Structure 1
Amino acid sequence: MGRNVFVIGLGLIGGSLAMAIKDKHRTAVITGFDTDRNNVNLAKLLGIIDDSVDSIEEGAKAADLILLAIPVVETEKILIRLADMLLKQDVIVTDAGSTKGTIHLAARRLIDKGITFIGGHPMAGSHKSGAGAAKLHLFENAFYLLVPPENIQDHQMMLLKEWLSGTKANFLTVNPNTHDLLTGVVSHFPHIIAAGLVKQAENYSRDNPLITRLAAGGFRDITRIASSNPVMWHDILINNKDVLLKLMNDWQVEMETIKHHIKSENSDEILRFFTEAKDFRDELPSGGKGAIPAFYDLYIDIPDYPGIVSEITGYLAQESISLTNIRILETREEIYGVLIVSFQTEADRQKAADCIAKYTSYETILA
């Protein structure tokens, strides 16, 4: 295999993929391009890329692997441009977009010219962005969906998997339609619901200011994904509109059904609604990474006295455990603890729980 990798888009995803490739393929030369010059400079400073170019044409012509880690709409435009460039005949072009139907259409001319294009979607991420947020192990144990066109050669798939093996992800192969349905159900549509819940709370808060304070508890947790990049989600909704419109219609039917049961006080059906939802959720895998970034939160039931937060963080520091967020709840309704500490991984969360048990008698809940 070649050794020249060209990464277009040096944010969280592109930067993390570049780091994983470099970690596995030490002789690879990673060249980067980003419209944000500050992002390029930071990627160089952090050693994410070896070099940068001022144009896509310059980076693409020498590449053995071209990786597009930019919004879907921009990916489509660049795929069309790549079809008119002089590329290595054995180059592999892949992307990291969240939808695949329109991307595969945009890649058609490239494929017709004999260039290998294999769609990709690493299903892990963070609410942070930019090269500074990139992490070597971001995709470890995550699902990485590969979406090849028809008639792809086995050796081309194996070559791309080898390039990406440093991610330590679990590769699954699906077609474009299946990909967009899967991600629509478990990622795209839930983001719409979360944003809708937040919008509803915002509307009611105009006449009921206490809503904002009460929403600092469980409501804030279950709607966290509504804080995702609005531009990215605009593109996803437009590009996966057929799937999402059907899911929204199905959701409306489901809501009308439970609305009818509430109105008629049909206790059996209301109980069935919640029981079936609980049973299905309880059967979902509790480990590994899914379509939506997991939040590794530890709830700590602490006494209320000055310095308690510093005490907890001090214990974690003694054990060299890094945390990503910490906050105190203003309401405890349906919440196990008053202090929530967030971590990057499940392993860190478990280490923190063991740490708290070692130094204190405070109850901890892995929620």
Structure 2
Amino acid sequence: MTQNVFVIGLGLIGGSIAMACQKAPHTKVYGYDVSQQTRELAKSLHVVNEVVDEIIEGAKIADIIIFGTPVNATLEWLEELKDWPLKENVIVTDTGSTKGLIMAKGKELQECGITFIGGHPMAGSHKSGVKAAKPHLFENAYYMLTPLKNENEEKVQELEQLLKYTLAKIVKVDAQEHDHMTAVVSHFPHIVAASLVHQLDAEQRHYPMTTLLAAGGFRDITRIASSNPYMWRDIVLQNRQELISQLDLWLDEMDRVKNILLSNEQDSIEEYFAIAKQVRDDLPITTGAFYTTYDLYVDIPDYPGVISEVTGYLAEEHISITNLRVVEAREDIFGILVISFQTAEDREKAEKCISKRTNFEIFAS
């Protein structure tokens, strides 16, 4: 018997899940997107087996419905879904990065006799849209499920059985725990990165050269500030209480740092950085909540053609890169070539490739 999966929203996340689900046996994947162009692309690129032009058309035949839409749009669709002609045992899930409001709506659906299991695949890409979708996007990433406390375990297992074809690490957590943890490791760091950029903007009005000096480490630690502002507007509003709590803790931490500096004690200052280094170095290397690059730093001498030489070696071994930049390159000194990769495996291959062909110093981060 064929299992019908219906994916609503065929961007990067929805499209990638749709492609992964096609690997499941006896499964047919239907897709819908509000954009006709996206629907046509999804069909031509084989992101789904079939597209539907009307959302009800796909919903009424679906055994599992997956919303790959932004949280606000998902909330609106879930309200409409209450009146859709659904199969009796249909399972509905989403992919949103905040779960509080979504699970409140899921509770309403449960009261209507509809199974809703919240979901959040914690991976992304530097690209967006259906053209960027790929079946292995979530490989080795965490895929968090937030079922209601009284949810039928068989339904949860049925959804897990399908999602295992994403090759993600599926974990179950409470919705409130989810929103707290993602606030700590993803949402709040975006606010910090944005605030640092705002501070730089204010400084460069008086010291214009500051921006030029920010091309190295500052650019690295504030990379996430370049994320979509509309998406982050919604995330911040949806998870505002958790973020307010994190801001309070951050202000306390900054007061602690200020007091350490006021004390002017070398040992206390060194200890502060030492503890931070240890904690950071012990962090697991895995795919996080949003797109992460795998960077390789190469000390290169400054002579004509050195960058094309390095990238040529990678091309010879068919190693793809996602970004390339020079942190520092001046006459008579070594510059730092930063090469970004999609996966840790690609970075490891690149490190071996360059090491066996050059004597350049290389380190990963």
Q: TM-score range by the shorter chain?
A: over 0.9
Deviation at 1:38, TM superposition (A): 2.4
Q: Which residue of 1 aligns with 2:343?
A: 345
3-state SS of 2:269 partner: helix
Question: What amino acid sits opposite 2:256 in the alignment?
Answer: T
1:186 aligned partner, one-letter code: V
1:16 corresponds to = 16
User: What is the aligned partner in structure 1 of residue 189 from structure 2?
Assistant: 190
Number of residue pairs aligned between Structure 1 and Structure 2: 362
- CA drift at 1:20: 0.8
Q: Secondary structure at the match of 1:160?
A: helix
Shift of 1:278: 1.8
1:153 equivalent to 2:152? Answer: yes
Q: Could you say what secondary structure the match of 2:139 adopts?
A: coil
TM-superposition CA deviations, 1:118-148 (whole Å, max 9, x none): 0001111123110111121111111111100
SS in 2 for 1:16: helix
Question: What is the match of residue 238 of structure 1?
Answer: 237
Match of 2:291 among 293, 296, 321: 293
**TM-score (normalizing by structure 2):** 0.95
Could you tell me how far 1:337 is from its partner in structure 2? 5.0
1:118 aligns with 2:117: yes
| Contact 2:328/2:335 (8 A) holds in 1 | no
Q: Distance in 2 between matches of 1:214 and 1:55?
A: 53
Out of 45-54 and 342-351, give the one that drifted further.
45-54
Identity of aligned residues (%): 52
Q: For residues 71-94 of structure 1, what are the alpha-carbon distances to aligned partners after superposition, in whole Å with 9 as ceiling and x for unaligned?
A: 111111111111121111111100
Give the match for residue 325 of structure 1: 323
Contact 1:20/1:137, CA 8 A, preserved across alignment:
yes
CA RMSD across the alignment: 1.7
Structure 2 residue 256 is the aligned partner of structure 1 residue 257? yes
SS in 1 for 2:258: helix
**Aligned counterpart, 1:200:** 199
- 1: distance between equivalents of 2:98 and 2:54? 25
Query: Structure 2: which 5+ runs fail to align?
Result: none
TM score, norm. by length of structure 1: 0.94
Distance, in Å, in 1 between the alignment partners of 2:360 and 2:147 is 51
Counterpart residue number, 1:277: 276
Q: Deviations over 1:199-254 (max 9, x none)?
A: 11122122222222221111111111111111111111111111110010110111
Secondary structure, counterpart of 1:342 in structure 2: strand
- Tell me whether 63-72 or 101-110 shows the greater mean CA deviation: 101-110
> Can you give the 5+ residue segments of structure 1 that lack an aligned partner in the other structure?
none
SS of the aligned residue for 2:356 comes to: helix
For 1:52 and 1:7, how far apart are their aligned partners in 2? Answer: 9
Structure 2: distance between partners of 1:37 and 1:360: 50
Match of 1:247 in 2: 246
1:315 to 293, 313, 316: 313
